[in-house]
Each structure stands twice: as structure tokens, then as C-alpha cells.
Amino acid sequence: MKKVSSINLKFILIIILLIGVIVGSFTINFKGNSETQATFKAQNINDIIPKPLSYKKGAGKFILKKDALIYVKGNSEKETEEIRKIAEFLRGKLKPSTGFELNIIKGDNPPAGSIYLTTVGGEEGMGNEGYRVITTPEKVEIIAYKPEGLSRGVQTLRQLLPPDIEKSAVVTNVEWSIPVSTIDDKPEYGYRGLMIDVARHFFTVDEIKRQIDHAAQYKINKVHLHLSDDQGWRLEIKKWPDLTTIGGSTQVGGGPGGYYTQEQFKDLVKYESERYVEIIPEFDMPGHSNAALASYGFLNPDGKKKPLYTGTKVGFSSFMTRDEKTYAFIDDVIREVSEISPSKYIHIGGDEAEATKKPEYDYFVGRVSEIVKKYGKTPVGWDPIDTSSTIDSSVVLQNWKDSNTVAREKNMKMIISIAKKAYLDMKYNENTPYGLNWAGYIPVETAYKWDPTDYAPKELVLGVEAPLWTETIADVKAMDYMIYPRLLGYAEIGWTPKASRDWNEYKIRLEKQGERMKNQGINYYNDSSIWGTK
């Protein structure tokens, strides 16, 4: 009798277990895809873009409260002061939505409830941009080898908080919590860039700051400004003021154009350096130079100024390549820029010089590269600059066409910006209201599914850059639409190793970023393949 009942008990237990399993799996199926993904996600991955190298989730959470303190401590007083500025940036980002006025304190041993930013204990292997975020119920600690790493870690911290953190007005019904977790992170490439063409259409300093602020949250660390083209010259050069008063006076379509004074440029550079973003100035030569040729007659063979140009054709203008007046002028430009631009790079253009014969082009880019080097900077040029006999591995190639054989032979370092993958001015599809399509359509998926090593050997790759040419982009709304969400993909291609990237998994994280972008007022392209039709 006893034996029978124990068998029965086992049987009943098995039945209960089986029912449990069936009901459980049914619930998951019934709940549908998104919730299943959410459950999976909560346990195993996070929403962060670019995806960190490693993320481990524990039990519990840290809750940010209104009396929280931000402790900062560097390896020297100077470093502590630098970290204090990063803490100020963080406080500024957390304030609008939380309403909290977090106090910043120089010191270690933060009390429970604090955020702690420190380079003490940071390891050299983390590199300049690597960081670790350790979240426990008591505190959030970001450790890095350099303050720059802390600034990248702070961008990650924003993404660990609920999306409401990005709202610009106080939200009261939210718990500002971060799951207990440890993140170890560092980038694959040191160059993760965005280019903005401010020559075809001019954008103000504030518009550029806003754009860079948004890009920096995804750890973009280089912003290349295309400061001159046929349609406009956008940076004051004190020795040659007509460059901006005449050359900067219009834009595509004939609008009023504009330019940056050197003071404004310095202010922009300083603002971005506080976000650890480097500004790289470009003057496009010998082609794309009509705005300069329209400003000064002496730059032209007949001594007369060219008319200003407001169309969108390329390849018709050229500096005189065998006239020393040209080089004296360029020397002045490069000298003045090198004095106000801390970046080690100066971009000299070199693309689409169809009005310059090949031997003249070669001579010209060689001479201009020497000028750039004379002022202590590294020249960067678009292809085909690599094909010039005057150019060697002291020059960086920005590769936009799918051809860099000569650059490879010369061991030139490269920034990969292949037009058919990385051009932000290409339309997403035939319905995109702005942009061009000469390099094809670039849907969000295409923008994500490539790697710089598809185009060049890894040891030559400095990183990636996504250029926004602005022939058809006249305002901030259009700019946002073309940049977002594709820039998140480019940022991840530059940051996260190829082996850790997968479109299907990325898509889930991208979907989550939609709410954050919306909260920040970014007019992103609301792609139905990512966000559905809601």
C-alpha cells in the first residue's frame, strides 16, 4: 500500500511538472515575440549602443536619489579637476529629467548612494578610451585609465538609466535605477567619425554643437568639418578676409550662407574637447575651390574673381598649381588654422579634381601636404590622393571609393568612408525626402552590415567615418533624418569588434534607442522595419 502511494506521488509530481512546462512555454508564445525578447534581454544583454565588450548582470539594482553625490578622484590634482568637469557634464545630463542638483565632491570613499568617477586603479590595458562600470546597490563606480575613458563610461551610464532620463523636463513617476552589473569596455578603433559639410549649406555653431552632442552619446570621437567647397568658404582667415565676406556669403540654392569667426571656431573646439570629441578641419583643394577663387582674383589665371556658385555640380574648379601665389595663400590658411585647431590632422580634400590634370594634381597635393607637415600636422586626403607619386605613408587616406590598392602598397593609414555603405547623404530608399542616390540607397541594415576590414587590412585602418554631404540638406530637421538612426550603426562598427556584432541582435537594441532619440528631440527616420508602423 505504502509503495503504491509513493509511485502515485511521483507520477502526480511528474504530471504537475509537465503541465508547468507546457503552460510556461505557452505563456511565452502567447505573450509574443517582443516580450520573449524582453525577458531574454533582461537576463542576458543590455540596450547599449555601441555594444560593450562585456556586460555581466547581477541581482538587484542601484537607485539614483536626489541627494546622491558624484565623487571624483584622479591620480593627480590636475586629473581630479579634469574628472570634475566630466562629472559636471554628467550632472548637466541628469538634471533636466530628474530635477536633481547632484553635488560633486573631490575625494575617494564615496558614501552609499553615490556615483564615483576615478582613474585610480585604472589599468594601462584599458587604453585611453576604455572604462569599467561597476554597479552595486550601494554605488555606481566608473574606473578608467584616462579621463577620456571616464567620459565614454559616462555616456554608457546614461544608457543604463531608463529612457526618460533623456527628457528635457522633470519626470516624477520614474525610479532612476540601474541594474546591478559590471561592464568592461574599450573600442576596436580609435577613429570613429562623423563628417558635416558646412560648405554646401551653412550650419551655425549651435546647430553643430547640438549635432556633436548627440553623436558623442554613441561614442563618436571625431567630427570632420568640410569647411570649404565651390559654394562656400566657412572659416575666417585673418590675412584673407574676403574668403568669408565674399566666399562665405552664399550656399547651394543661393541662401545667405555664413561662416565661423576664429573665436567661434575656438569656442566650438573647446566645447567638443570637453566631450572628448576632436574637430578635424578640411579645406578642399585643388578642386572644390570656387569659393576661394571667387574671393580673390590673384588666385585665377586671368587675375579676375570667379562668380560665386550656388549649384550642385562638381569637378569644374581648380587652384593654379604652378603659381607660387597659390602656395603662399595656402600657407597662410594652413598656418592660421594650425594655430587654432588642436587636432593633429588637417584635411586637404583632394577629391574630384577633374579640372586639374593628373601631373598637376600630383604636384599640388605633394606641395600642400608639405605645408601641412611644416605646421606640425598630419595631412588627410580623399582618394585618389594615394595615387600621387608625391604622397607617401605620412599622409592619411580617407577612402570613399572602393579602391585603395596604391594606399595599401604605400602602407598608408586609412579612414574608411565607402560611399555605398557610409554616406549619410544617400537616401534610405526611394521614398526618402532628402539626399542623393548616386552610390545607391543605404537602408539601416546595409549601413550596419559591413566592416572596415572588408575594404582594407586591419593594420592600416584607423577607423570609420560617415560623411553628411549637404547639397540637399538645408536644415536641422533634414540633417537629423539622414544621420539617425544610421549613425548608431557606424558608431558600433567603429567601437565593437566584428565578431561581437550581429544585425538581428543589434536591431533589438536599436529599437530601444528610438525612445531615447525621441526624448532628445532627434528627428530620426522612423524606419518601419525597426519600429513597426506605430
By beta-carbon proximity to ligand TNX, the closer residue of 154 and 308 is 308
By beta-carbon proximity to ligand TNX, the closer residue of 282 and 336 is 282
Residue closest to 282 by CA, chosen among 226, 365, 327, 358: 226
By beta-carbon proximity to ligand TNX, the closer residue of 144 and 353 is 353
**Least spacing, CB of residue 58 vs ligand TNX, in Å:** 47
Q: Cα(first)–Cα(last) distance of the chain, in Å?
A: 63
Q: Are 485 and 527 in contact (CB under 8 A)?
A: yes
3-state secondary structure 511-529: HHHHHHHHHCCCCCCCCHH
The reply to whether 352 belongs to the active site is: yes
Contacting residue, 425, 465, 492, 527, with ligand TNX by CB under 6 A:
425
Rounded distance, CA 427 to CA 449, Å?
17
By beta-carbon proximity to ligand TNX, the closer residue of 314 and 340 is 314
Site residue total, ligand TNX (CB under 6 A): 10
By CB under 6 A, tell whether 400 contacts ligand TNX.
yes
- Catalytic residue, from 88, 352, 370, 511: name it: 352
By beta-carbon proximity to ligand TNX, the closer residue of 82 and 425 is 425
List the x/- string, 106-145, binding to ligand TNX by CB under 6 A.
----------------------------------------
Q: Are 194 and 220 in contact (CB under 8 A)?
A: yes
Q: Which of residues 341-360 bind ligand TNX (CB under 6 A)?
A: 351-352
**Least spacing, CB of residue 384 vs ligand TNX, in Å:** 10
By beta-carbon proximity to ligand TNX, the closer residue of 86 and 235 is 235
Cell numbers standing for residue 275: 566631450
Q: Which of residues 297-326 bind ligand TNX (CB under 6 A)?
A: 314
DSSP, residue by residue, 1-50: -HHHHHHHHHHHHHHHHHHHHHHHHHHHHHH-HHHHHHHHHHHH----SS
Q: Which of residues 450-509 bind ligand TNX (CB under 6 A)?
A: 469, 471
3-state secondary structure of 416: strand
Contacting residue, 296, 382, 495, 525, with ligand TNX by CB under 6 A:
382
Cell numbers standing for residue 315: 569637378
Q: Are 482 and 424 in contact (CB under 8 A)?
A: yes
Give the residues across from 436 on adjacent strands. Answer: 426
**Least spacing, CB of residue 250 vs ligand TNX, in Å:** 17
Provide CB contacts within 8 A for 285, sequence distance 6+. 319, 330, 348, 349, 350, 364, 368
Give the residues across from 104 on adjacent strands. Answer: 70
What are the distances in angstroms from CA 113 to CA 65, 105, 109, 110, 137?
Answer: 7, 13, 12, 8, 8
Q: Which residues bind ligand TNX (CB under 6 A)?
A: 314, 351-352, 382, 400, 423, 425, 436, 469, 471
Catalytic residue IDs: 352
